[in-house]
Amino acid sequence: MAEQVRRRVLVVGGGVAGVTAAARLARAGTPVILLEQGKQLGGRASSGALPGFGEVDLGFHVLMRTCRAARALLRLLGAEGDVRFQPRLEVPIWHAGRVHWVESHPLLHLIPFFFRFGHLSARERLALLRLLPGLARVPEASAADWLRSLRIPPRAVETLLRPLLLSALNGEPEEVSARYAAMVIRRVLLSPRGGALGFFQVPMSRIWGRVVPLVERAGGEVRTQARVEAIALEGGRAVGVRLKSGEEIPGEAVIAALPPQELVRLLPEGERGFLSEARKIPWSPIVCVHFLFDRPVLSLPFLFAPGLPLQAAFSVTRLQGREGPEHVAAVLSGARDWLEKPPGEVKEEVLDSLREPAPRARGAHLLSSYVLRFPHATFLPAPGVDGRRPYNLTPIRGLFLAGDFTPTGWPSTLEGAALSGLSAAGTCLSPLDR
């Protein structure tokens, strides 16, 4: 038991990054104590019970086939079957009363798109080819400035690229970095199969909960509703944590899977300097409005609606292959203007917006609805943000960072979180092995 305690690693934060780190360590045979202050694992990608709906994902999350680290985590948890991927990229875009598709052909990839995407003229579609040489040398500028420099037509930006960037980066083209915009375009539009979307078939916290037996088999434990009050330091080294209850838990190392603004409160004032730049990382909100209708209202399992307040709507019921009342999740990214509005006003505006691409909603009875706001849903990948993202190895010995805000090469996504958890666990294991 003494040897087990000596080698024990404490993971603070049970979001996707923390779950990934704990799973990786447990797989290596390291005893782990995973501490999460909430009732469910998953953090910003958790599920919970909403009256009338049952257990649902509180936000709506989509995985891409190209997300290798996140898919590796699912395999590690035995949950590969809990995500259903499209055979290839197929995204319906509703605009001005019509639906046209962005879809990848099995052999020709996007070539048919240049002939069929009716929201744009032939000249506007051909102008998108200017992206190809533009991807070879991307400036440190906003995506909007970069697209203007490539002379991409405004309607092509508004109808195609803005919805793509807003949903993937949670920011407007004027706000996000051209480098991250280019990354999204490469991985979604230019990857023949990698851009295919995957939809979770069960509430996500059930998936992350599969880490519990994995951790327990390695001699560790997972605790929810465990609020950490401080990370204990001795001689410049992390030696454990203290819970709000007063309990002290010793360990060989600590992985802090928390955003910088939360982590800073757990450290002594004189040990916070390495987070000074990370605390300047801007964050961006998402609002998710859940509707439960007595009948199907969407003609498609999901759609994007540029130009409407709605932005995107997903039939959770149909995407999970269920029948009965239709659960529609309406997602508003980069939703600063929605944070201060009363919930009733948000619900009515989004519902009115939904009735345009889904006219059947006008005659349907609304059984229940919830407005959920996430002020710090993702970090904003603004120009220059990479210089503020902290590495997982910190100046405090035995303290490692995990989180999508670390320099993973990805924006704030499930993939970025999983990559950071794997990296933090790998860095932590090296000194433990020595």
Query: What is the pLDDT averaged over residues 332-340?
Result: 95
- Write out pLDDT tens, residues 314-334: 999 999 999 999 999 999 999
The rounded distance, in Å, linking the Cα atoms of 243 and 229 is 5
Q: CB of 381 within 8 A of CB of 333? A: no
- Write out pLDDT tens, residues 187-245: 988 887 778 999 999 999 999 999 999 999 999 999 999 999 999 999 999 999 999 99
Q: CB of 93 within 8 A of CB of 159? A: yes
> Which of the two residues, 355 and 111, has the higher pLDDT score?
355
The rounded distance, in Å, linking the Cα atoms of 399 and 7 is 14
- Write out pLDDT tens, residues 253-288: 999 999 999 999 999 999 999 999 999 999 999 999
Whether the predicted pLDDT of 5 surpasses 80: no
Whether the predicted pLDDT of 139 surpasses 50: yes
Per-residue pLDDT band for 433 (boundaries 50, 70, 90) equals very low
Whether the predicted pLDDT of 401 surpasses 70: yes
The rounded distance, in Å, linking the Cα atoms of 283 and 155 is 28
pLDDT of residue 431: 66
pLDDT of residue 378: 97
pLDDT of residue 7: 83
- Write out pLDDT tens, residues 345-360: 999 999 999 999 999 9
Amino acid at position 395, single letter: P
pLDDT of residue 194: 77
Q: CB of 306 within 8 A of CB of 340? A: no
- Write out pLDDT tens, residues 42-93: 999 999 999 999 999 999 999 999 999 999 999 999 999 999 999 999 999 9
Provide the CB-side half-sphere exposure for 26 (13 A, CA): 27
> CB neighbours of 326 closer than 8 A, spacing ≥ 6?
292, 293, 295, 296, 297, 298, 315, 317, 318, 364
403: left (phi over 0), alpha (psi -120 to 50) or beta: left
Longest CA pairwise span in the chain (Å)? 71
CB atoms within 10 A of CB 178: 22
% pLDDT > 90, the chain: 91
Residue span(s) of the chain under CATH 3.90.660.10 come to 283-379
Whether the predicted pLDDT of 3 surpasses 80: no
Specify the CATH number for 283-379; select among 3.30.420.40, 3.90.660.10, 3.60.21.10, 1.20.1260.10. 3.90.660.10
- Write out pLDDT tens, residues 153-182: 999 999 999 999 999 999 999 999 999 999
| 2-53+61-80+203-281+382-433 fold | FAD/NAD(P)-binding domain (3.50.50)
pLDDT of residue 105: 84
Whether the predicted pLDDT of 136 surpasses 50: yes
Per-residue pLDDT band for 116 (boundaries 50, 70, 90) equals confident
pLDDT of residue 109: 83
DSSP label of 15? B
Query: What is the pLDDT averaged over residues 83-106?
Result: 93
Q: CB of 184 within 8 A of CB of 165? A: yes
- Write out pLDDT tens, residues 296-307: 999 999 999 999
Residue span(s) of the chain under CATH 3.50.50.60 come to 2-53+61-80+203-281+382-433
% pLDDT > 70, the chain: 98
Q: What is the pTM of this model?
A: 0.95
pLDDT of residue 432: 55
pLDDT of residue 2: 45
Question: Strands 237-243 and 228-234: what pairing?
Answer: antiparallel
